[in-house]
Structure 1
């Protein structure tokens, strides 16, 4: 895996096109008091740095140069403003559905909207976006109580299959497999490990192309991602046909995919075509796949590098484990006792946010900090502008899970699951699977990072470029 870059052979033609484009581009007569900042190079803007540099540095450099509250740029082919700090987070959350609408980069639109869709660039309606999250009995708290025991059993089997007996494991990939084993059970209703492994490999290729310029030439990162997307969509549509056949033989819907098959599209009131269902499930799988697997991987790094933290987490988890009868699984009450373990996860997500930020589109002209942002411009809020603010978090560069015991961070400062109306609806589900993962790791192993200088992809997704390899020492009781 290599960092995503544009070669000179691509950049030079772009410059020639840009010169022609700007020479004949009509000038707008409407004047705006735009925020400070730079649009960068013609056409490509500042996309190269946005995709490849460490995100907190890229954002931080511009905050120092232009404004600590707001600046303009051009990335991913769009004029964009970046809203910084807790005030920026709050402004976006308070104005969802008023000033802002959902927007995804063109790369994501092409990956997650099938060619059957009439307008692949049109954002999905709010009703469509919330159909899955409002599905009865799947990711609501009452469902999660039921998931706890099944989740523990699945993760236990995962560790017996993929971890035990190994000297060194690549924890990012194995975490991807684990979160998909859980999603396969609860979202898709499948338990075939070979099928899950195939989906994990396809989705890994897709994740590399979420926020890049969608240049689709043979061998490019985006080209490989599109091939993986098409293969995954074909596999999901085959699964949909299998489920429909099972329904015809009297089977009952017991997972989210089945629910989508039997329910009407909230936007049309009609039954949903297979390709539309596949697209929705792909989006759900991506949300359940990318961020949790990165969080779990970096958890291993910080537990390995902080023995005192590891010992305290293990003590908490072993107290729970020792209270169980032989063969007894974790239950909902056990997870409520894992307070320190969850603080460790929160601290990992503060230092290495699984998603560095997210995008919106201005639904109308609006004013912020005295500047006017035109309708249609894209808006980006980024978590790094608060996570490393020393005015919010004392000694922000230090790994200190106890900071969450001492005080609760102010609102809109540490928001790994977003905020406001679009807060991640799977937050409680993610918490459950992360704590289950921690429980089974620290019960079994001590950890050592094989390469302390392993490289991490820049941009929005901090993916270990060549994986994160951990040496295991068995300490099972």
Structure 2
């Protein structure tokens, strides 16, 4: 009885204390999320939102206009927090690819998204993209893939890159030199980028298989830029089937490679020397070493997702670089001088090495400026995993966010005279932090950045030390729809560099 009375008394005491603290003692006032508003902006038309305007400005060669017009329009509606920073609009609401989203349009916005990965935001892609190329988020596989394309590993592949590049020029370029027949640079760049990626990632060199794979990738591209209508006969539906076909074919390669590796004695140095030095073998050997099973389908998804973006990045950047070098003779002469100095230091038949790549400083600055003006992609997307406040505006859980390269790459706040081609921007300390983001940033920065850098430098070395060229259409430009491409396929007349 006494025990019961004691517990009842204790319960009454806790109840009284709870009442005093929650009801009697006034709590410190705190601004609630409901007191904040969503960023200013418009969601445009039903379903399609502002997607058509987003794509139209890119197709017209002024992708930055989509952001600039809205920054100007919504600056007068900035929140009190934004007003203290000069009233500039740093975030606005829009609707793209069927989703309402906030577009962060400053270097600070880029930094915010990159540094809050898995804290406030996570990666997100439109459902139409996911249907065609499902993203692989398996951490273990991505970790091993990153190890293959990190700078130290890329150094080992330089000679292979140079060898493949020389073979490409001998096969597809030199036979058409000094003739009236023009080469189609964009088409040949596709062959080159695919051949190099497949050699490095799959140890694949069969011309017939490569040609079939090129067709499949072309079909996937056509679907990605089409209306996302998944009905039989539409480009979107055909692209989904093509993607599945490509992954099935790569999955078969993975299964066969796994059998081949299991038949080897990997403790025997002689047999180990027969293992292809590609990404597929690297992934399989790593998963063998930690004894954790990875399905061939998962590995095929990773390999497909690695080939596709690396292929696009190289093609578009090389096309844009050739156009700029054609238009800017002083820049071309400086690149040629740097590369010829390296060529003259090499013995007959000697392949490029890491020391040579390190000497290509001006050429890399030129490629960086190309990537600033003609980045291979316009940016990526995130999803809020919790509610938070940004620049005085509410970003609710589940809202999509977008960072866009053109909001900073062509912004005079970060790049004075932003439309001028000026490789010197990348000398010294370079651009302000988070203003130059062709490869993204933070944990989600493109893991293949160094691999792409070296591949493009190897290509430029072989191009300018072998050939001179003239554009068939002197005013040809790159447009974005939604990825960059040359308007006429970039036909060139070739001449010997020595002529």
TM-score scaled by length of structure 1: 0.85
The answer as to whether partners of 2:136 and 2:302 remain within 8 angstroms in 1 is no
The match for 2:215 is 201
Q: Out of 280, 295, 303, which is 1:257 matched to?
A: 280
- What's the CA shift for 1:374? 1.0
The match for 1:11 is none
CA distance in 1 between counterparts of 2:481 and 2:93 reads: 17
- What's the CA shift for 1:407? 5.5
* Structure that is richer in helix per residue: 2
The match for 2:12 is none
The match for 1:420 is 442
The match for 1:8 is none
The match for 2:3 is none
- What's the CA shift for 1:92? 0.9
The match for 2:293 is 271
Taking a change above 3 Å as real, the CA distance of residues 133 and 263 of structure 1, as seen in their structure-2 partners, is closer
The match for 2:425 is 403
Q: Out of 25, 28, 45, which is 1:41 matched to?
A: 45
CA distance in 1 between counterparts of 2:452 and 2:420 reads: 25
Q: How does 1:382-397 map to 2 (within 5 A)?
A: 382-397=404-419
CA distance in 1 between counterparts of 2:41 and 2:106 reads: 17
Q: Out of 173, 186, 193, which is 1:163 matched to?
A: 173
- What's the CA shift for 1:346? 0.5
The answer as to whether partners of 1:105 and 1:211 remain within 8 angstroms in 2 is no
What's the secondary structure of 1:66's corresponding residue? helix
- What's the CA shift for 1:128? 4.9
Deviation track 1:35-73 (CA, whole Å, cap 9, x = no partner) reads 011011112211222233322122222222224311111
What's the secondary structure of 1:379's corresponding residue? strand
The match for 1:149 is 159
Q: Is 1:61 matched up with 2:69?
A: yes
CA distance in 1 between counterparts of 2:489 and 2:356 reads: 32
The answer as to whether partners of 1:52 and 1:457 remain within 8 angstroms in 2 is no
- Structure 2 residue runs of 5 or longer lacking an equivalent are 1-32, 76-88, 265-273
Q: How does 1:330-349 map to 2 (within 5 A)?
A: 330-349=352-371
What's the secondary structure of 2:423's corresponding residue? coil
Q: Is 1:191 matched up with 2:205?
A: yes
Taking a change above 3 Å as real, the CA distance of residues 254 and 406 of structure 1, as seen in their structure-2 partners, is closer
Greater CA drift, 418-427 or 209-218: 209-218
Deviation track 1:308-357 (CA, whole Å, cap 9, x = no partner) reads 11111011101000100101011100000000000110011111111111
Q: How does 1:326-365 map to 2 (within 5 A)?
A: 326-365=348-387
**Structure label with greater radius of gyration:** 2
Deviation track 1:65-107 (CA, whole Å, cap 9, x = no partner) reads 2243111111111111100011111111221111110111112
The match for 1:309 is 331
The answer as to whether partners of 2:472 and 2:491 remain within 8 angstroms in 1 is yes
The match for 1:7 is none
CA distance in 2 between counterparts of 1:193 and 1:77 reads: 40
CA distance in 2 between counterparts of 1:129 and 1:351 reads: 33
- What's the CA shift for 1:278? 1.4
The match for 1:229 is 243
Runs of 4+ in 1 over 6 A off after TM superposition: none
CA RMSD of the aligned region, Å? 2.5
TM-score scaled by length of structure 2: 0.82
Deviation track 1:189-244 (CA, whole Å, cap 9, x = no partner) reads 12223322322232233234446652123443323322321331232123223323
The match for 2:311 is 289
The answer as to whether partners of 2:320 and 2:478 remain within 8 angstroms in 1 is no
What's the secondary structure of 1:463's corresponding residue? strand
Taking a change above 3 Å as real, the CA distance of residues 352 and 450 of structure 1, as seen in their structure-2 partners, is same
Taking a change above 3 Å as real, the CA distance of residues 341 and 455 of structure 1, as seen in their structure-2 partners, is closer
CA distance in 1 between counterparts of 2:427 and 2:143 reads: 36
Greater CA drift, 230-239 or 446-455: 446-455
Q: Out of 81, 84, 98, which is 1:77 matched to?
A: 98
CA distance in 1 between counterparts of 2:65 and 2:248 reads: 40
CA distance in 2 between counterparts of 1:462 and 1:334 reads: 29
- Structure 1 residue runs of 5 or longer lacking an equivalent are 1-28, 114-122
Deviation track 1:380-414 (CA, whole Å, cap 9, x = no partner) reads 00111111112221211111212323651110111
- What's the CA shift for 1:468? 2.2
